[in-house]
Chain A
């Protein structure tokens, strides 16, 4: 059984090793898990791989606050990107087209 810990150990690994990135849908400047401080330079991209699961031996109890997931479930992908805002006024994106599912009403 694997045990997911909300405040597990933090280990920074490369993006390529992790395989994919999860980023917040609205503002790309916040995360909901532990992160390190943003580097000072503009457009800095930091990626943190949060190791937050371990295996329980038979008879062991899950610690308070832990989330127990099924042993056969895929390993959680918990890589979080943190994109620092560039200095100065925020640029105004000039999006003129959007990609979307076709045939929308």
Chain B
């Protein structure tokens, strides 16, 4: 039985395992007579996600992204999957006021290595927001990428949110479905389905969840996305004692100086939730809550360095 409000007895079929350097989970809610079809769909979608991810990863030299980053040409034709994700990355930059920038790979690698590649952190470099160094022109079979030769791309969570949404769209015929792309979650709840999604506390592995979102269960179909971003997982301590993390502020090209340890956002899609969660971490709680309110996200929970857990008011509606 999925959820607690159903008039129909529903079963669940799942496919879970390691993927994309993390974990991929697919869950489908279905009536008992459809469990075989649900399992087949879960397996098929799993294979599609793996295929898409193989083109988008920077950890495989044969991927479309790695070959793009290795090349020096300023005008490159992209295949459809990479073109679609970069089109979303373009939009992500717009809706985040330039804070989410997939052109920060070199700055991230420099932070990981302990090298200083950014401008003066006190003055920042606002020009980078307007001069990100790439432009996309769609064509029927993909897109042309116009870029500066020195530009290297890191799709990271932007791709995972996109993958989760794209995969969920293939499961639309089922009563309910979840695609969890390593923490970035796209989910659909039909009228009789209710999903509960926990928000992990990054401070202790076995700590109670910071919150639990309830999606569905109100007699109407809902499609949403939930994503979390933060500074505690990809974090490095260098020989001089300095620490750095992977969320680069494009205004300084350095790890963001932020009071937000982790941000979780519920929005209309996983890819949008991922962009807004990441933005809230990078800009900090003061500016971040303003950004989240302007974006009209459904809910947001922020864990601060002080230990406070803050949420937007409308979050209460979604808490289990």
Contact = CB atoms under 8 A, between A and B. Distances in A.
A, B co-complexed: yes
State the main secondary structure of chain A at its contact with B.
loop
Interface residues of B, number: 54
Interface string A13-24: 001101111111
Contacts, number: 120
A103 B234 contact: yes
A102 B160 contact: yes
A95 B198 contact: yes
Nearest to A81: B316
B118 interface: no
B201 A102 contact: no
Given A15-B313, A95-B197, A104-B22, 12 more contacts: A18-B313, A19-B289, A21-B311, A22-B311, A23-B211, A96-B27, A98-B199, A99-B184, A99-B226, A101-B183, A102-B156, A102-B183
Nearest to B161: A102
A45 B313 CA distance: 11
Contacts of A103: 21-22, 182, 233-234
B26 to A, nearest CB: 10
Contacts of A96: 12, 27, 178, 195-196
B17 to A, nearest CB: 14
A40 interface: no
Interface stretch (B37-45, B62-70, B91-99, B202-210): B202-210
Interface of B: 3-4, 12, 21-22, 25, 27, 156-157, 160, 178, 180-185, 195-202, 208-212, 226-230, 232-234, 262, 264, 286, 289, 293, 307-313, 315-316, 319-320
A23 to B, nearest CB: 6
Contacts of B160: 102
Given A102-B160, A102-B184, A103-B22, A16 B27 contact: no
A59 interface: no
A54 to B, nearest CB: 22
Given A16-B313, A91-B4, A97 B27 contact: yes
A89 interface: no
A94 to B, nearest CB: 6
Interface size class, chain A: 20 to 34
A100 B205 CA distance: 11
Nearest to B290: A19
A105 B233 contact: yes
Nearest to B247: A101
B200 A21 contact: no
Max chain A CB contacts within 10 Å: which of B210, B286, B307, B316? B316
A19 B289 CA distance: 9
Contacts of A26: 208
A99 B185 contact: yes
